[in-house]
Copies of this chain bind each other. A is one copy, B any other.
């Protein structure tokens, strides 16, 4: 018996299910376009084997280990590194067994579905993971990883990836991207410009980062103009490694369009470490508008990921650092927050801004009405916790009636878990086909149009939004 149902995520009603299956047949083998994510470019540069099952599936994936933590498993027992370098579990098999014993926690979660999909479709397993099968799983996956066809480039090709964007900080030298390019390998792995560390006055080491930005670019980054020019230079450098987009992860969606004098003064305050939290927020907001202006110059698509309250637990942050499953969404205002940027550049031809939210209430109330009016705005797919079957259905139901399909940007897997990429795109394709089939079954769309839309959602909208 397979781990994954061949008809999974299709509607229960038999006639509608048949329609969904037919639509899915038309898209299931299309190439994967992954225009935003967090894979490590080093994998493709070095093409070394993945070390072991625990380090592939558990230790680096905060989606996974936070669920065990929520049921009382201590983070160190899962091998999650400590900031102070203190003791954590080192035996991957022990970690794997602990994971396997708790696998029932993932029932009916997207993580569970992605994992089962990877186990079955990447590694050929067909029995459920449990305490009983833990060792057999471990041995089987570990043996696979030792084979050349399980190295990163081979998997990349097997996954039929047309393009994969990684995300690097503004100060990154892109050495792995350079190494990929110089290797002659044909896989299209591109970077994305993510300048949070030099845009957010509250980022650790902000002033030093700005200094480094100056050193890298030869610009005098203690002046506002030099600082902006340094961004221009780095954006160009990133474009040289394939970047077609920048990405901005801010706690709010605030934008500003201050007079340049005020922006200049605010920058000086930020450099001096004197910004209040409100001023820091204003500076980040100003920089979104500046980045939008640069996008008009260089054509990079601007992505805004707003609304995560990062590192919610002070203790987890102190002991284990960032990205440990304790980032919690919060209410996010978009309609007021984006107005300054939109008044500045919102009607400019050619500008592309993609919006990602963790507050689902804004889909129908704020994002779809804005995307259905402003030419520059496109809705990114459901993000993070909402990158799931129900999340995707809710997104389509809440947005399509107001902004249609053509103001949305296709799918992003947004993952650092390489093996889950095919699984995630498969969930998105199935969920979109289910939504489309429901429209057909209820007389809201013809089957012919639905088939065309399915292909657009799978490939064309992402290509267009990211200029890929």
Contacts and interface: CB of A to CB of B under 8 A. Distances in A.
A29 interface: no
Interface stretch (A49-57, A68-76, A90-98, A175-183): A68-76
Interface string A300-332: 000000000100111110000000011111110
A450 to B, nearest CB: 9
A336 to B, nearest CB: 7
A390 B385 contact: no
Nearest to A406: B105
A365 interface: yes
A8 interface: yes
Contacts of A215: none
Contacts of A443: 4-10
Interface string A66-87: 1101111000000000000000
A278 to B, nearest CB: 16
Nearest to A437: B12
A231 interface: no
Contact of A331 (B15, B312, B333, B374): B333
B109 A404 contact: yes
B373 A385 contact: no
Given A365-B359, A372-B66, A110 B401 contact: yes
B328 A442 contact: no
A404 B108 contact: yes
Nearest to A7: B443
Nearest to A340: B314
A10 B372 CA distance: 27
Contacts of A404: 67, 105-109
Contact of A70 (B5, B386, B403, B441): B403
A325 B71 contact: no
A69 to B, nearest CB: 6
A70 B371 contact: yes
A289 interface: no
| Residue from A359, A374, A398 with most neighbouring chain B CB atoms (10 Å) | A374
B444 A313 contact: no
Interface in A248-296: none
A45 B139 CA distance: 62
Contacts of A4: 443
A269 to B, nearest CB: 26
Contact of A312 (B72, B316, B342, B439): B342
Given A373-B69, A443-B4, A401 B390 contact: yes
A16 B12 contact: yes
A331 B335 CA distance: 9
Nearest to A16: B12
A346 interface: yes
Nearest to A358: B365
A349 interface: yes
Contacts of A331: 333, 361, 365
Contacts of A336: 309, 330
Contacts of A442: 7-12, 389
A220 to B, nearest CB: 34
A360 interface: yes
A314 B329 contact: no
A405 interface: yes
Contacts of A11: 12, 442
Given A312-B339, A347-B316, A404-B107, A328 B8 contact: no
Contact of A315 (B6, B328, B347): B347
A407 B365 contact: no
A402 interface: yes
A15 B7 CA distance: 14
A453 interface: yes
5 contacts: A7-B442, A14-B15, A70-B372, A108-B405, A315-B347
8 closest Cβ contacts across the A-B interface?
A5-B443, A8-B443, A12-B441, A388-B401, A12-B13, A12-B16, A314-B343, A72-B375
